[in-house]
Structure 1
Amino acid sequence: MLSIIGVAVFVEHTLESAPPASRRPMEATIARLGHLPPAVAKLASSPHLLEGFLRLSAAFEQTTLEPVAREVVVMTVATRNECHVCVAMHTGKLRALGAPDELIAELREQRPLTDERLEAIRQFALEVLRTAGEVADDELTAFFSHGYTRQNALEVVMGIGAYTMSTLANRLTRAAV
């Protein structure tokens, strides 16, 4: 744990110690998951970041992308940013969705995916990140040729935004797996 003169820089808050504005989103997380993940407890130091991430990730869950495709976006960001918390959590989510072990291993190891359609979304997410959104026309065409839409392209950007926020904050706070 990072500290300044013996004091923890990022506290793992409880409902009692959290800033008042973080308590409602923390309670909602507990209600949804049955517990308070350590990462959420640390993000509670910033009510705005916590609320923003929870709202944006919930909105991402409502997009038109299929659940496994959404998880491919999340895992692409998580492995790229080396967020062990997100990799562990979303490995569990992929398993709950019935994703094959091979797909999970490929994502965790940042290898090309055997499933061509899912590989297209992984490559598109990497290209959005690599070019800061200035994806070339041929890359867009390749993405669309796998049945994805313009809406899906923007939803990938949304997922990248939500999980860039999460992965960077989890690493900064030294959130535990």
Structure 2
Amino acid sequence: MPSFPVHTFNSAPEASRQALEGLRSAFGFIPNIAAAMSTSPVLINSLAGLFQQVHGGSFSEPQIQAVLLTNAVTNGSTWAAAFHTALALRNGIPASDVQAIRDGGPPHDAKLSALSKLAKALIEKRGRLDTHDKEAFLQAGFGLDHLLEVVAIVAASTITNYTGSVAQPPLEGDFQAYAWPAR
């Protein structure tokens, strides 16, 4: 089985370094998943572009983290579930809501629940939302623009979730306390 390198900034391909620098600037370090992704400049640069758009969009960081954690759990991505658990907690999502998502259910907060349910439906239904899925999201106070913005968040997290499954980067020590066993 091939082993994917977890690059440093200096060992990464030159064409990946700008994206890695942007992620290092955002997080204060280069996440192992991005370091592994940087083996492919096309992949890491695609993620970096989406990352900027998602985190510069209309959702708050707790709302984004609720979607990203839901996606990690739904896709069975152990690395991403641990990472986004830590970020969700750091961004003020109550521990009970984080645990609800990690257990595969919706958070208690109504807005976060609507976001989480929509993200889960997008993944499980492969984008084929039904009228109920859309209406439930819109009734929570979101607009059509928000619904499409969630598609962008799901796309960004799919990149990391799938890369985690393929490359299996090690989980950083800071996130070990949040390790999540895929079901």
TM over 0.5: yes
Alpha-carbon shift at residue 20 of structure 1 (Å): 1.2
- Report percent identity of matched pairs: 25
Alpha-carbon shift at residue 32 of structure 1 (Å): 3.4
Runs of 4+ residues deviating >6 angstroms: none
Indicate the RMSD between aligned Cα atoms, in angstroms: 1.6
Counterpart for residue 42 of structure 2: 48
Q: How does 1:146-165 map to 2 (within 5 A)?
A: 146-165=140-159
Q: How does 1:30-45 map to 2 (within 5 A)?
A: 30-45=24-39
Match of 1:134, SS state, is coil
Alpha-carbon shift at residue 134 of structure 1 (Å): 2.3
The 2-side partners of 1:112 and 1:31 are apart by 31
Gaps of 5+ in 2: 172-183
Write the letter of the residue equivalent to 1:83.
S
Gaps of 5+ in 1: 4-8
Q: How does 1:35-114 map to 2 (within 5 A)?
A: 35-114=29-108
Aligned length in residues: 171
Counterpart for residue 139 of structure 1: 133
Match of 2:100, SS state, is helix
Match of 2:59, SS state, is coil
Shift in alpha-carbon separation, 1:66–1:31, aligned structure 2, 3 A: closer
Instruction: Choose from 100, 111, 118 the match for 1:117.
Output: 111
